[in-house]
Structure 1
């Protein structure tokens, strides 16, 4: 795919675009060209529309990349989590099919893949902004997996080098002082216990949204992570966390106290609502007992950060904060790995923090201190 310019005899500059089409029956290369656009922006917009239209028109053409990838996704419904499959589907729709969806699968070689990667890195994001190397590397891993299953072995395909970032994608990590300031400010807030669990135990948004009281043992100080409530496409689903994400998390006396107070508040809401309350055993439901849409927690968290006057970090970065605090206190790497539910210790070590060379109960007690003196 190319966008370029040419000059007329009167020195007026016009723009054109060229799109590579599937190889013809005779094996020869084919292209779709349009010219005469007054500006580069208009040409680029027309090129994007043409690529999408062609990709969509070719979706059902036997042997096309688009059709074969659709077939692969249908087969993998048997063994891949629905949310993961939805992520794959979006990757193909946004980054692969617009570029090579109309090509015949047999015509794909490493040059075609490399050209796609270069285009994505240069202008694959929204409004033709560069796409991050991390996203393109994800595209690479998924499409290579699909091609291998489809019997297409592309030797020599290179994936983009990793982005050179020291924070490994972390948007923010609070200091212990900032954690305490945030939690102290929201001590009377309705979602205080949810925020405390995120910071103290490093729970994910979906784990908070799907948590049931049946899986909270306050007498023993254990929260069992068994269900995630998450967004999949345009719907909300509940599923078991994959791998080691299904786990028990030890919590200390202060966190137990916070959850007991939260349950008392919830019981009062239930009594006030009467027959209007739908008790589905969620730990953090709406006032009528129904679960929140998962993104609600994300939006409320951002507002809560601003209200407390602490650096605004995303909700998932509460896990980074929890891991970093544990590392700074000397909690062993394998303990934090189990506590956070990472399948690979590398994730704990490289993405979240460097853990220094005690026990899970020690980790619970250390993180429990973030709740401050007023929780004891």
Structure 2
């Protein structure tokens, strides 16, 4: 390690020794152009703090370090978590930072990288959502910290508002009613009902089994248990589809009322007719939502189909995931308590009922189901008392 004056100018430089690579060869980081010896020594100390404990790979590039880091994380990450890390690194980090030496990173380089993503970080060169850039930041920060590199002063992009510009938003109650009325004869009608009225995610819908649905009527009956999901992971199985348990509060019991029970009962009747028509080629996997031959859908199918359904219904085209937030906005306007809405959406800290099939849910859950179905579903509105 050394600090010295450049022989051909009036500036100062520093040199920091880095850990040797697997080949045993010595490596150094050099920085030039500092106005004074004091500034050069300050920057040298910063570099030592950032890279002094790092165990860098042979070439020391960001791409090589992240690839090695991913290999080490295979033992403690889920398949989908590891796939998400790989996708974000491949799509967003490596194209901009992959060829750089880890030792060349500083807060200015990283902040410029985030600005580039926000301006033109998508595959088509369009702005990348701030939430996505925040995820990039978390992955990069975690990887560098695990490697032993701490870059002082790096700030993550500001957290966007939930429904800020760039999000497609949510529907009003009137738009939701119009949509559900327009798609009532569509084959996946029950999918849209559970997404909007019950706040279910697309992975939960794709992975839902009839064994997790209780269609019996009564005060303590009518429940959907969302403890399983069908999702995607790069390089896994048929079209990258994997199935696994839902995490944390996402696993929940959702109360359903008479109207949703009627929708699901009719959906099952149609499914039974398809099974009989398909005969021996039908593959019975107990799926609530499946193709005519019984095989499950990849979650992306629902996203594509939902967009086309919005256009056909003449309502604003919103993301399927945002459709479930209609539960929050419409429910609030209709007087559903906040804790009941959070429970239905899987955003609370409450735990799954110990006895899944007891189905004795809090009265607020039952009330939330009744209110949402009465406001949004034709089946619910038709059952209102006449005045």
Q: TM-score, normalised by structure 1?
A: 0.76
Give the aligned partner of residue 228 of structure 2. 227
Give the whole-Å Cα distance in 1 for the aligned partners of 2:115 and 2:304: 35
- The answer to whether structure 1 residue 371 and structure 2 residue 380 are counterparts is no
Give the aligned partner of residue 73 of structure 1. 70
- The answer to whether structure 1 residue 190 and structure 2 residue 169 are counterparts is no
Give the aligned partner of residue 136 of structure 1. 133
- The answer to whether structure 1 residue 267 and structure 2 residue 272 are counterparts is yes
Structure 1 alignment gaps of length 5 or more = 1-22, 31-58, 346-357
Alignment of 1:162-311 (within 5 A): 162-163=159-160, 167=164, 170-219=167-216, 220-234=221-235, 235-311=240-316
Deviation at 1:29, TM superposition (A): 6.4
Higher helix share: 1
Q: What is the root-mean-square deviation of aligned Cα atoms in Å?
A: 2.7
Deviation at 1:175, TM superposition (A): 1.9
For residues 161-185 of structure 1, give each alpha carbon's deviation from its aligned partner in whole angstroms, at most 9, with x where no partner exists.
3457863764132222222222222
Deviation at 1:331, TM superposition (A): 2.0
For residues 136-176 of structure 1, give each alpha carbon's deviation from its aligned partner in whole angstroms, at most 9, with x where no partner exists.
22211221111112221222112233457863764132222
For residues 315 and 27 of structure 1, do their structure 2 counterparts lie closer, same or farther at Cα, with a shift above 3 Å needed? Answer: closer
Give the aligned partner of residue 340 of structure 1. 345
For residues 69 and 375 of structure 1, do their structure 2 counterparts lie closer, same or farther at Cα, with a shift above 3 Å needed? Answer: farther
Deviation at 1:63, TM superposition (A): 3.1
Deviation at 1:65, TM superposition (A): 1.9
For residues 173 and 165 of structure 1, do their structure 2 counterparts lie closer, same or farther at Cα, with a shift above 3 Å needed? Answer: closer
Partner SS for 1:126: coil
Alignment of 1:110-121 (within 5 A): 110-121=107-118
Give the whole-Å Cα distance in 1 for the aligned partners of 2:191 and 2:336: 23
Give the whole-Å Cα distance in 1 for the aligned partners of 2:200 and 2:260: 13
Deviation at 1:375, TM superposition (A): 6.7
Contact 2:327–2:341 under 8 Å retained in 1: no
Give the whole-Å Cα distance in 2 for the aligned partners of 1:191 and 1:218: 18
Give the aligned partner of residue 325 of structure 1. 330
Please identify, of 84-93 and 196-205, the stretch whose mean Cα deviation from structure 2 is larger.
84-93
For residues 89-126 of structure 1, give each alpha carbon's deviation from its aligned partner in whole angstroms, at most 9, with x where no partner exists.
12212222222223333443323322322333344333
Give the whole-Å Cα distance in 2 for the aligned partners of 1:340 and 1:244: 9
Contact 1:258–1:375 under 8 Å retained in 2: no
Structure showing greater Rg: 2
Partner SS for 2:203: helix
For residues 375 and 143 of structure 1, do their structure 2 counterparts lie closer, same or farther at Cα, with a shift above 3 Å needed? Answer: farther
Contact 1:285–1:291 under 8 Å retained in 2: yes
For residues 208 and 132 of structure 1, do their structure 2 counterparts lie closer, same or farther at Cα, with a shift above 3 Å needed? Answer: closer
For residues 85 and 173 of structure 1, do their structure 2 counterparts lie closer, same or farther at Cα, with a shift above 3 Å needed? Answer: same
Give the aligned partner of residue 29 of structure 2. 27
User: After the TM superposition, which parts of structure 1 deviate over 6 Å for at least 4 consecutive aligned residues?
Assistant: none
Deviation at 1:135, TM superposition (A): 2.5
Give the whole-Å Cα distance in 1 for the aligned partners of 2:231 and 2:155: 33
For residues 7-64 of structure 1, give each alpha carbon's deviation from its aligned partner in whole angstroms, at most 9, with x where no partner exists.
xxxxxxxxxxxxxxxx99453469xxxxxxxxxxxxxxxxxxxxxxxxxxxx984432
Q: TM-score, normalised by structure 2?
A: 0.74
What is the aligned residue count? 314
For residues 164 and 191 of structure 1, do their structure 2 counterparts lie closer, same or farther at Cα, with a shift above 3 Å needed? Answer: closer
Partner SS for 1:156: coil
Give the aligned partner of residue 87 of structure 2. 90
For residues 107 and 240 of structure 1, do their structure 2 counterparts lie closer, same or farther at Cα, with a shift above 3 Å needed? Answer: same
Give the aligned partner of residue 317 of structure 2. 312
For residues 133 and 176 of structure 1, do their structure 2 counterparts lie closer, same or farther at Cα, with a shift above 3 Å needed? Answer: closer
Partner SS for 1:359: helix
Give the whole-Å Cα distance in 2 for the aligned partners of 1:27 and 1:89: 28
For residues 313 and 131 of structure 1, do their structure 2 counterparts lie closer, same or farther at Cα, with a shift above 3 Å needed? Answer: closer
Contact 1:176–1:325 under 8 Å retained in 2: yes
Give the whole-Å Cα distance in 2 for the aligned partners of 1:171 and 1:71: 37
For residues 77 and 335 of structure 1, do their structure 2 counterparts lie closer, same or farther at Cα, with a shift above 3 Å needed? Answer: farther
Give the whole-Å Cα distance in 2 for the aligned partners of 1:192 and 1:78: 41
